[in-house]
């Protein structure tokens, strides 16, 4: 195999994930260029979230390799991959219900340090993350809700916090699983702006059903169907692709 | 002023702790404080990491045996012997925890129970060291410059160490580490996605919890002058869990309250031991049904409501620091 001239942000070779004989991801070879926004689209059940779980270590591949930012991460646990500069958000909002929005931001900001092991220190040790935490919450429109437990936030604000957590890690690779799911027009607008801002200096991979968002943000679109990549390229090209049109026929969204 | 007000509960608590041996048998007072610490160590895992240990008798009992052996064989001051007990239990918690934290829920409870049974078995067989069924008796308690013959004397001598245990438990829960623990309890995969090696945090929590249980057990052996097999029995683990649930999971101080109730009850029923199980069970059912979130949380909220008209503004401020049922 020849050595690639560039280091891809994400590279997979023959990636397969089987669930009890069913192939949710079925031989995916990705080469994602760094610094771009890549949209991962496809009908429900195409394997998008499963692919995310493979990239972030939440699932072990049945076969194939994952190379992230130039290093082989196949089989590494999620926290080791996260510590290499990979942040993800979850399709189904995934927060710490008893912790406040501010504590969420602090947890994310301190994750790179070892302050979390200090069982002998007072909570004052977290003070130095407070300003940046408040800034971050303000950026996603949560300034007024900083001291509310996440479990008691309205849905839209939970999604915003979900995104804030990923951004707070200051990752090199940002994986967002349907960041605008269930949002109203205004929130979608703000989320697009946020992602665009967060994109500076980073690679973003975005699972998205809203084609307006894809058209606006994505440099590159990858279409997944039944665990396989059926098309990739610019949005304008991909949406004319006969295979893609066929895949989306009968699908409610597009 | 607010600061003073916030310190008030601690001042009251210390005053109560100092007066306790005058209000009841000093031996009972000591047992209550030690069972309270033991139950807190269970709550540290149950309330703040979401792990129900059903094997904490292993740590309480090992702490007791280790402290008893240290005191008997070397005659070290009781405080050193108690710390030997804490260290022994913390050490044992490393391999046990390493294997147990891979499981969750009922499986974690079963694995910890199995480990504790193993320790019980070893203590029973290893007669030369543990005295087998007879246990170890005549455990001395000394401290340079102090006469510790009377139970009340030992109570006061041990109090600083016990308070240290409480403060450590409180510190752990209200530390950056405590925040990560709560995050893991609420949503472990999410914590991993942030880069936290959650198993290390769980293991550290398990070891700290084991160490606290060992400290309590060690002081128990020194205070009562013996270490026996029933300290390692699975019913001892059960009793600690019961105390924690009575007082309120995830409240820490609730464990102390639970210990007061269970031990007072047991003391009151010593003349009728066969009724003790039934009565304790009945009290347990009533309290759990009437106080869903345990005595401590329910009582605290009632107190707040009662005090609200007087100090409502102040409580609003402190709410942010006390925060939603974690203190
Ligand atoms: N843990 C699992 N066990 C068994 N089957 C699974 C598991 N996770 C996903 N699947 C299956 O794998 C397929 C792909 O699921 P996945 O969640 O990756 O799809 P998706 O593209 O993210 O869909 P959506 O757009 O609905 O989010 C589905 O058929 C799903 O039922
Ligand atoms: Mg999905």
From residue A100, give the alpha-carbon distance in Å to each of A135, A144, A147, B144, B254: 15, 12, 5, 49, 23
Q: Is the pLDDT of residue A71 over 50?
A: yes
pLDDT at B316: 41
pTM for this predicted structure: 0.89
Domain that residue B308 falls in: 291-327
The reply to whether ligand 1 has any atom less than 6 angstroms from the CB of A47 is yes
pLDDT digits (tens, 9 = 90+) for A145-169: 999 999 999 988 899 999 999 999 9
Q: Would you say residue A253 has pLDDT above 70? A: no
Give the count of domains, chain B: 2
Find all residues with CB under 8 Å of B68, minimum gap 6, and list them.
B81, B136, B139, B221, B222, B226, B227
pLDDT at A67: 95
Q: Is residue B67 part of a domain?
A: yes
Residues B192 and B325 in one domain: no
Do B266 and B299 fall within a single domain? no
The one-character DSSP state at A145 is: G
* pLDDT over 90 at B140, yes or no: no
CA distance A90 to chain B (A): 9
ipTM of the complex: 0.90
Are B126 and B267 found together in one domain? yes
Place A254 in a pLDDT band, splitting at 50, 70 and 90: very low
Task: Tell me the two tokens of residue B240.
Answer: 């600690």
Asked whether residue B308 falls in the same domain as residue B165, the answer is: no
Taking the CA of A53 as reference, the closest ligand is 1
Q: At what angle do helices B2-23 and B151-173 cross, to 10 degrees?
A: 150
Q: Based on the domain organization, do B296 and B267 belong to the same domain?
A: no
Q: Find residue A232's DSSP bridge partners.
A: A222
Q: What is the pLDDT of residue B147?
A: 77
Evaluate whether residue B280 is within a structural domain: no
Q: Could you read off the pLDDT of A19-38 as tens digits, one per residue? A: 998 999 999 999 999 999 99
Whether B286 is covered by a domain: the verdict is no
Could you tell me the distance, in angstroms and rounded to a whole number, from the CA of residue A25 to the centre of ligand 1?
A: 9
Q: What gap in Å lies between CA B18 and CA B184, rounded to an integer?
A: 37
For residue A118 the two structure tokens come to 């200090």
Q: For residue B218, what pLDDT is reported?
A: 96
Please tell me whether residue B53 adopts helix, strand or coil conformation. coil
Task: Tell me, yes or no, whether B247 and B309 share the same domain.
Answer: no
Catalogue the E-assigned strands of chain B.
136-137, 226-227
| Protein residue whose Cα sits closest to atom 2 of ligand 1 | A19
Mean pLDDT of B188-208: 96
Which contiguous run of DSSP H or E holds residue B235?
Answer: helix B234-247
Task: Identify the CATH number of the domain in which residue B162 sits.
Answer: 1.10.3470
The rounded mean pLDDT for chain B is 86
Residues of B with Cβ-Cβ distance to A96 under 8 angstroms: 182-183, 186-187, 190-191
Pair B240, B304 in one domain: no
Instruction: Work out the pLDDT band at B228, boundaries 50, 70, 90.
Output: very high
Is B3 within the bounds of a domain? no
Query: Considering the domain boundaries, does residue B1 fall inside one?
Result: no
pLDDT tens digits, one per residue of B97-130: 999 998 888 899 999 999 999 999 999 899 888 8
pLDDT of residue B162 exceeding 90, the answer is yes
Same domain, B127 and B191: yes
> Concatenated DSSP letters for B161-221?
HHHHHHHHHHHHHTSHHHHHHHHHHH-HHHHHHTT--HHHHHHHHHHHHHHHHHHHHHHHH
- Tell me the mean pLDDT in the region B243-258: 88
Which residues of B fall within a CB distance of 8 Å from A125?
Answer: 175-176
Residue B257 placed within a domain: yes
B266 and B314, same structural domain? no
Q: In this structure, is residue B15 part of a structural domain? A: yes
Same domain (yes/no): B222, B313: no
| pLDDT score of A236 more than 80 | yes
Q: What is the pLDDT of residue A3?
A: 55
Residue B17 parent element (H or E): helix B2-23
Alpha carbon distances (Å) from A56 to A85, A88, B236 = 11, 8, 43
Report whether pLDDT(B324) > 70.
no
Q: What is the pLDDT of residue B314?
A: 42
Query: What is the predicted pLDDT for the residue at B291?
Result: 76
Mean pLDDT of B201-227: 95
Q: At how many degrees (to 10) do helices B253-268 and B26-48 cross?
A: 140
Assess if residue B315 is contained within a domain: yes
- C-alpha B98, offset from chain centre: 21
Q: Which carries the bigger pLDDT value, residue A65 or residue A186?
A: A65
Which of B177, B186, B200 lies at the smallest CB-CB distance from A99?
Answer: B186
Q: Do residues B194 and B320 both lie within one domain?
A: no
Residue B91 CA: distances (Å) to CA of A108, B37, B56, B103: 31, 19, 14, 20
Q: In this predicted structure, which of A37-41, B82-86, B166-170, B258-262 has the lowest mean pLDDT? A: B258-262
How does B232-255 read in b/e, with b if 16+ C-beta sit within 10 Å? bbeebbebbbbbbbbbbbbbbbbb
| Mean pLDDT across B172-186 | 95
**B277 compared with A101, residue with greater pLDDT:** A101
B305 with B158, same domain?
no
pLDDT value at B87 more than 90? yes
Helix/strand/coil for A175: strand
pLDDT at position B308 is 59
Query: Which ligand places an atom closest to the C-alpha of A41?
Result: 1
Q: Do A77 and B189 touch (CB under 8 A)?
A: no
HEC assignment per residue over A78-94: HHHHHCCCEEECCCCCC
């Amino acid at each position: 195999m020849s050595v690639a001239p560039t280091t891809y942000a994400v590279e997979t070779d023959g990636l397969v994930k089987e669930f009890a004989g069913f192939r949710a991801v079925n031989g995916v070879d990705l080469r994602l260029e760094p610094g771009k926004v890549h949209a991962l689209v496809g009908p429900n059940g195409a394997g998008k979230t499963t692919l995310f779980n493979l990239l972030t270590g939440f699932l072990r591949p049945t076969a194939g390799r994952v190379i992230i930012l130039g290093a082989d991460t196949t089989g590494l646990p999620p926290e080791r991959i996260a510590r290499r500069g990979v942040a993800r958000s979850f399709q189904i909002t995934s927060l710490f219900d008893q912790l406040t929005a501010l504590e969420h931001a602090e947890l994310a900001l301190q994750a790179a340090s070892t302050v979390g092991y200090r069982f002998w220190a007072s909570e004052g040790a977290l003070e130095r993350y407070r300003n940046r935490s408040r800034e971050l919450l303000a950026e996603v429109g949560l300034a007024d809700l900083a001291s509310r437990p996440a479990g008691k936030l309205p849905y839209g604000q939970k999604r915003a916090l979900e995104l804030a957590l990923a951004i707070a890690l200051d990752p090199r690779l940002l994986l967002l699983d349907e960041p605008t799911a269930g949002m109203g027009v205004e929130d979608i607008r703000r989320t697009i702006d946020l992602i665009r801002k967060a994109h500076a200096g980073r690679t973003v991979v975005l699972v998205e059903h809203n084609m307006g968002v894809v058209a606006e943000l994505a440099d590159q679109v990858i279409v997944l169907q039944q665990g396989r990549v059926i098309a990739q390229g610019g949005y304008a090209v991909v949406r004319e692709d006969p295979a893609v049109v066929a895949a989306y026929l009968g699908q409610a969204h597009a | 002023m607010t600061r003073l007000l916030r310190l008030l509960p601690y001042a009251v608590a210390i005053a109560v702790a100092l007066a306790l041996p005058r209000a009841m048998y000093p031996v009972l007072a000591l047992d209550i404080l030690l069972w309270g610490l033991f139950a807190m160590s269970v709550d540290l895992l149950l309330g703040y990491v979401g792990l129900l240990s059903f094997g904490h008798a292993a740590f309480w009992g090992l702490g007791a045996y280790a402290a008893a052996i240290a005191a008997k064989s070397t005659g070290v001051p009781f405080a050193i012997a108690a710390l030997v007990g804490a260290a022994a239990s913390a050490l044992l918690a490393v391999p046990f925890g390493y294997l147990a934290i891979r499981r969750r829920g009922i499986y974690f409870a079963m694995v910890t129970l199995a480990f504790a049974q193993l320790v019980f078995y070893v203590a029973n067989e290893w007669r030369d060291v543990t005295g087998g069924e007879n246990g170890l008796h005549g455990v001395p308690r000394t401290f340079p410059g102090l006469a510790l013959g009377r139970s009340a004397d030992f109570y006061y001598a041990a109090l600083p160490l016990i308070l240290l245990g409480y403060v450590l438990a409180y510190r752990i829960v209200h530390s950056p580490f405590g925040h990560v623990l709560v995050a893991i309890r609420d949503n472990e995969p999410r914590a991993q996605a942030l880069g936290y090696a959650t198993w290390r945090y769980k293991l550290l929590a398990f070891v700290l919890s084991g160490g606290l249980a060992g400290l309590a057990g060690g002081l128990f052996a020194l205070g009562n002058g013996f270490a026996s097999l029933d300290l390692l029995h699975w019913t001892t683990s059960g009793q600690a869990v019961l105390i924690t649930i009575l007082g309120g999971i995830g409240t820490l101080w609730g464990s102390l309250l639970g210990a007061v109730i269970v031990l007072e009850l047991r003391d009151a029923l010593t003349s009728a031991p066969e009724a003790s199980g039934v009565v304790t069970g009945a009290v347990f059912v009533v309290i759990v049904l009437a106080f869903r979130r345990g005595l401590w949380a329910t009582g605290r909220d009632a107190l707040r409501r009662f005090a609200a008209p007087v100090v409502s503004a102040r409580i609003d401020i402190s709410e942010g620091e006390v925060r939603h049922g974690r203190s």
